[in-house]
Structure 1
Amino acid sequence: MSGVPFAGGIGPGASFPDEVQELRARTRNFIRSTVIPAEPRPGQALNLAVRRELSEAAKAAGVYAPHVSKDFGGQGLAVEHWSPVFQEAGYSPIGPAVLNCMAPDEGNMHMLHLIGTAEQQRRYLAPLAAGEISSCFAMSEPHPGAGSDPDALLTTAIRDGKGWVINGRKRFTSGATFASFAIVMARTAESGTAPAGATMFLVPMATPGVSLGAPIHTMDKYLPGGHPHVDFDDVKVPAAAVLGEPGMGFKHAQVRLGPARLTHCMRWLGLARRALDIALDRTNSREIFGTHISQLGIAQDMIAQSVIDIETSDAIITQCAALLGVDPRSGSALSSVTKVHCSEAVYRIIDRAVQLCGGDGVSDGLPLAQYLNEVRPFRIYDGSTETHKWAIARRASAARRHAVEAGEPFQGTVNADRWQR
């Protein structure tokens, strides 16, 4: 099996089939030879015409939409094989958008493939996978609505004959500016066999009553479509607009949220590898105090810590991806751990790269400062670090309680005789 080294000479965390390695190698070559030379200046958005041109080149190179089924024009990778390819795509901040494996479209495609009806896949998934349209996921709301706590959902959908009427306000609706449709999470009442809860709806952005609200100006710039507010005022949709089943929106959303957290980790780890490469090139060529910076102990410690962060992130991503492939529930729980670790580690790696490059690191002569701006929000997006830690701790405590109830020894009481010599 051929092995193309990752950035910085660091290898993959696991062995992958030959076809995955070959796709990874093609993706690596395409990003470096075609995408990186077309990158905009740091802080500038990718021109949509340039993106379309690069995406057509990606299709010709056989690297487009690696996560999408071959039936819909993608490369057909299983979830457990996404990481090496997504990391190669993420080596350029515009790479995932060019390869159509960028959020929120990537997560929406995955969910439509798994739970969409044949008609929903024809109408929404096929053009989305082909790059003919884009989408958004309307979940977060202005306070006191849903944010870190999804149970605070305020947007409602009320039955109206055979259809539904949606009312609510959303914010941080990533990609909404250019989206053709939104997947909208709304609260619905109990009806027939459908429980009360949340329901997901497929809503074309051109539907009467849907309007873009105020933009939200954030420090990250590379996501096409930004993160605006979106308003839904008496938006009427047919029964066929329901994605999944009424009242089961939160359950169905786990199909999207677990892998989506993980693919963020994959893409940003690719960018962290790029940042470390930039720092290594600098420290290997610049001299200070009579030697190359890379030979100074303080710099070596920073480089080593970044390598450790990359290796541990790669390992936990690989483990979580493998688990998602066989046990989505457990994989979703582990994705919280993975998201916390990787979002913090990626920021540390890029921050060290800035420090190692000194004044150039904080200037626009290098892209590192913008990389830092791009990854900093990841510690908040898709659930803040603190929210995930809260959930992780609750799961750990509950698991231990259940183990004790099942007969495992309780460790909270010390038997003094145990320590007698």
Structure 2
Amino acid sequence: MARKKILIVSYYWYPFADVGTYRISRFAKYLAKSGWDIVVLTSKKAAAGMKGEPDDPVLENIKVYRANIIEPVSLLKGKKGGSAKTSNPSIFYQKDAGLISRLAVWARLNLMIPDAKFTWKWFAVPLGKKVIEQEKPDVILSTSPPPTTSLIARKLAEWSGLPWHADFRDPWTNIYYYDDNPPSAWAQKRNKKLEASVLKKADRLTVVNHGFFPSYHLEDKLTKIPNGFDPDHVLNKKEVPQKNDSVFHIRYFGSMKVNQYPKAFIKALQTLSDERPGIAENIHFDFYGNIDPDIKEDIKSASDIIETSFTRYIPHDEMMKKVNSSDLLLLLIGRTKNSKFGLSTKVFEYMTSGKPVLGIGPVDGAAAELVADTNIGKFFSHEDHKGVINFILQTYEAKQKGETLFEPSEKAIQQYNFSYLTNKLENILDELIA
């Protein structure tokens, strides 16, 4: 029996190991282990937050083709030393933006359609045709964002006649930053038209959660496959040294954008410092990832007692050791019209640690439901700083007593195992090429 072959179109791929790499690389890994031959079409460079090499021999053996791209350059140095890029959503939320930065925002919204990676299509489509002729895949799988990835896959599917499965990690025109920064009527119409063409042409669609395409009727072709965790990354708890010191480590991993402003958490730090200084002096807040500079300053200035540290992205294995040695894990869901559907990718790695999760966001949203179903922590609204304070104190006191507040539901957690999730994807792909 001939092996099945899939062409994956993804802007993110190693060594550009941004968060966008994780989901598609897990699918590729477990499809390969299931007997598929994998071919990846990606970009020669990517505006990723960190770099990394494949974490499994299966991924190292995947054939990768790289198309040129003309990346937008940094347009302005931020007032706190950061840089504003047309490819980064934070450009939409800069305070006291100058003329150049405002022009960059306008260009990103009205000229760079559907996104700042639009030039990649010029090079990826011709290369993709050559790859298809040479590799002869059975099916195409694309993953978005950026939406340009979907446009490339659509062109290749139309040209080749191959079945095409489009995967979406985030919404397209329904994404949060367009709510606060609406493009021109022409740009909105153009972007909506491109989105509609992709949703119509794709043979099957997957989304990480509901609410991505509310104005379309896609019931016959759309499946929800959430993000998850790689069982190979679940560390043996005996491998992670547990310190019995008095320091209480609250940690956050990933990006923290303007729309995720942790009002209740910052207020809780301030109140604990004022009212419970004896406990506050034992609390450390450790951040790992990319944080909005204004949020960083507000967290640092929230308390003169609570120690804070801010570190850029760290390798995944090192991150998981930090997760597993934490005392409390902070999870934030932003404030947008679609916040109820928001699911941070970090919650799936948090859930395997056995450490309590402090969630802040919609208490009736998808993330809060997941945390409750898996019994890994508790959620509070962005305004409920008193609830956040009480939860921090409960987990702090539980550590002092050597008690466990939550017993995670292993059955519920296994629903987010990427081996299981990839099997769901593989069933769809098999239907497409049958």
Larger relative contact order (CA 8 Å, sep ≥ 6): 1
Q: TM-score normalised by the shorter chain: which range applies?
A: under 0.3
Structure (1 or 2) with the greater strand fraction: 2
Structure (1 or 2) with the greater helix fraction: 1
The TM-score normalised by the length of structure 1 is 0.27
The TM-score normalised by the length of structure 2 is 0.26
